[in-house]
């Protein structure tokens, strides 16, 4: 059974040549890029705002440190009393702190050398807050509020902010400048600096400055992050819609087209707009179209083959029926003998037809079942020719193998059974046309990466107009006097089908003698050599 040869339309070399900084295929790169774009925008915005927040907090610490060092220096110069053991005049230091007004968002507190609170900017009576005030705090007399510098927390009502302040003041009383973020009295985060007030080496107290607008800064940062988040969400949404349009919908169309082929018994899928796409879906569409077209051609070939089989089988059956109907009416022994010979010939022809039809119908399955492997063509031809020589009967045409004039074996990639069937079919055809006493010669040569096998006979040759038609199914034109029913007309067709399935070609030509007359027919089979 002949099968259609389909030329693949894929372009692997061109696709490999497409350079890109992203790995994968075209649609794969598109999916990666679109999904990463929104994430990159969001991460980029977060990093930018994070750097902005760090800069703002650092600037606020620097500002508070500069201001605190100035106030601490003034208090040291103006409120230090006692020699040789200096101390700080708490009341005067508190007045100095009250005179040095602070911004509304800042709070200043002054502690003595024992960690007792002696001044707080929130105690200033004439200060007007421009924002909503926190719950009112009662004024604490300097003598009643102190910090537990051993880490047990404040003696006033306990709060996490006071505990953090106590640790900060305790470290500052050791002479170390403290700066950073911590929790304030009301649970809000504050930027705080604690600067020791030193006279020479003696620590007279600690000045603590706090900026309570950190939460406002963070809130503004979060608000600034919203546009980035919205952009990221928008990009993700757009990319999802784009991927749905570029991938999901075309795949759905392909599925519906495949269902249409299955349900309406159509022969092929046709989606020209998708086939024009230069990506994986375009490759898939073209492959599906090629596959369905190949299946359609295969179905046409099966229908044509079935029609040819029915026609070829009908002829011997009609002849057998006519002979049987006539046999009962004929009384002449010679006529009955002729009818009997006709019956034997028709039965032989029918048997030959059924055998070759069975071989042809199994050919596709055999070709797909076995994987190609390297074959030594010289050894295979030697075995085939040796089998004919061993089974030859008196009067049979001799088969002689002429090996290649090279020491290296000539190998092809193929299936040993089908390739051997090609040579057997050609040899059988050559023997059937050879004259009595003739010879069939099988030659092998390597030429330009091809293994070239020739099968020569000593028959009458092939008419020029039939050099191609001899490979058609059931073509059985034979010279006068040839045995009737000895051929089915499928041998050469099967040989071409197998050869083309292995990437080779087969052709027929005539040999001429020195006088220019036709000396016989020659069949040439070219198969690609296997790569070493």
Q: Which domains does the chain have, with CATH numbers?
A: 1-18+279-369 (1.10.287.130), 26-125+138-272 (3.30.450.20), 371-532 (3.30.565.10)
Q: Could you read off the pLDDT of 213-237 as tens digits, one per residue?
A: 766 776 777 777 778 778 877 877 7
Find the range with the poorest average confidence among 62-76, 103-117, 167-181, 256-270: 256-270
pLDDT (tens digit, 9 = 90+) per residue, 505-529? 999 999 888 887 888 889 999 999 8
The more confident residue out of 154 and 28 is 28
**List of residues 6+ apart from 484 with CB closer than 8 A:** 345, 349
Average pLDDT over residues 345-371: 72
User: What number of CA atoms fall less than 13 Å from residue 484's CA on the CB side?
Assistant: 12
For residue 219, which of 252, 180, 188, 256 has the smallest C-alpha distance?
Answer: 188
Whether 288 contacts 6, CB under 8 Å? no
Question: Taking the alpha carbons of 442, 445, 451, 456 in that order, is the dihedral positive or negative?
Answer: negative
Statement: residue 102 has pLDDT above 70 = no
Least confident range from 148-152, 274-278, 330-334, 472-476: namely: 148-152
Is residue 178 helix, strand or coil?
Answer: strand
d(CA 64, CA 339): 127
Cα 260 from Cα 264, distance rounded (Å): 6
Please tell me what DSSP assigns to residue 465: G
Tens digits of residue pLDDT in 288-336: 888 888 888 777 777 777 777 776 677 778 878 888 888 778 778 888 8
What sign has the CA pseudo-torsion 71, 77, 80, 83?
positive
Tell me the average pLDDT across 152-158. Answer: 41
Please name which of 458, 473, 454, 372 lies closest in space to residue 419, comparing C-alpha atoms.
Answer: 372
- Residue 80's pLDDT is 82
Residue 202, pLDDT above cutoff 80: yes
**What is the DSSP secondary-structure string of 285-305?**
HHHHHHHHHHHHHHHHHHHHH
Q: Is the pLDDT of residue 5 over 60?
A: no
Could you report the per-residue pLDDT of 376-393, keeping only the tens digit for each? 988 999 999 988 888 878
List pLDDT tens digits, range 43-59: 777 766 666 666 677 77
């Amino acid at each position: 059974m002949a099968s259609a040869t389909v030329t693949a339309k894929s372009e692997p070399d061109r696709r490999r040549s497409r350079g890109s900084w992203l790995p994968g295929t075209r649609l794969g790169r598109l999916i990666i890029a679109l999904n990463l774009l929104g994430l990159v925008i969001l991460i980029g915005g977060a990093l930018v705002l994070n750097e902005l927040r760090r800069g703002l907090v650092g600037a606020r610490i620097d500002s508070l440190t500069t201001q605190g060092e100035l106030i601490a220096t003034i208090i040291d110069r103006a409120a230090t009393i006692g020699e040789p053991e200096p101390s700080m005049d708490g009341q005067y230091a508190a007045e100095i702190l009250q005179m040095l007004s602070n911004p509304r968002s800042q709070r200043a507190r002054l502690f003595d050398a024992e960690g007792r609170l002696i001044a707080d900017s929130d105690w200033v009576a004439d200060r007007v807050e421009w924002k909503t005030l926190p719950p009112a705090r009662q004024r604490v007399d300097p003598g009643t509020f102190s910090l537990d510098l051993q880490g047990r927390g404040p003696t006033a009502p306990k709060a996490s902010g006071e505990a953090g302040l106590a640790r900060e003041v305790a470290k500052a009383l050791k002479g170390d400048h403290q700066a950073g973020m911590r929790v304030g009295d009301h649970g809000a985060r504050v930027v705080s600096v604690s600067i020791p007030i030193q006279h020479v080496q003696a620590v007279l107290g600690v000045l603590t400055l706090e900026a309570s607008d950190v939460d406002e800064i963070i809130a503004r940062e979060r608000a600034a992050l919203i546009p980035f988040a919205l952009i990221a969400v928008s990009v993700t949404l757009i990319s999802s819609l784009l991927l749905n349009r570029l991938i999901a919908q075309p795949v759905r169309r392909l599925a519906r087209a495949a269902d249409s082929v299955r349900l309406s018994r159509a022969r092929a899928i046709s989606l020209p707009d998708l086939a024009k796409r230069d990506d994986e879906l375009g490759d898939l569409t073209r492959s599906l179209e090629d596959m369905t077209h190949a299946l359609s051609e295969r179905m046409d070939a099966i229908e044509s083959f079935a029609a040819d089989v029915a026609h070829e089988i009908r002829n011997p059956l009609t002849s057998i029926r006519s002979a049987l109907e006539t046999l009962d009416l004929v009384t002449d022994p010679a006529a009955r003998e002729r009818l009997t010979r006709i019956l034997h010939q028709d039965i032989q022809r029918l048997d030959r037809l059924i055998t070759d039809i069975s071989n042809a119908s199994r050919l596709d399955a055999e070709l797909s079942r076995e994987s190609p492997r390297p074959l030594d063509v010289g050894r295979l031809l030697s075995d085939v020719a040796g089998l004919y020589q061993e089974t030859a009967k008196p009067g049979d045409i001799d088969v002689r193998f002429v090996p290649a004039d090279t020491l290296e074996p000539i190998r092809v990639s193929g299936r040993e059974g089908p390739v051997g069937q090609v040579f057997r079919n050609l040899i059988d055809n050559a023997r059937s046309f050879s004259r009595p006493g003739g010879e069939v010669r099988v030659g092998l040569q390597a030429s330009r990466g091809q293994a070239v096998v020739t099968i020569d006979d000593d028959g009458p040759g092939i008419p020029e107009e039939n050099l191609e038609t001899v490979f058609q199914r059931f073509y059985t034109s034979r010279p006068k006097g040839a045995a009737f029913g000895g051929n089915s007309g499928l041998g050469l067709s099967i040989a071409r089908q197998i050869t083309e399935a292995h990437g080779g070609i087969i052709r027929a030509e005539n040999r001429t003698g020195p006088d220019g007359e036709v000396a016989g027919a020659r069949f040439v089979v070219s198969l690609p050599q296997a790569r070493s």
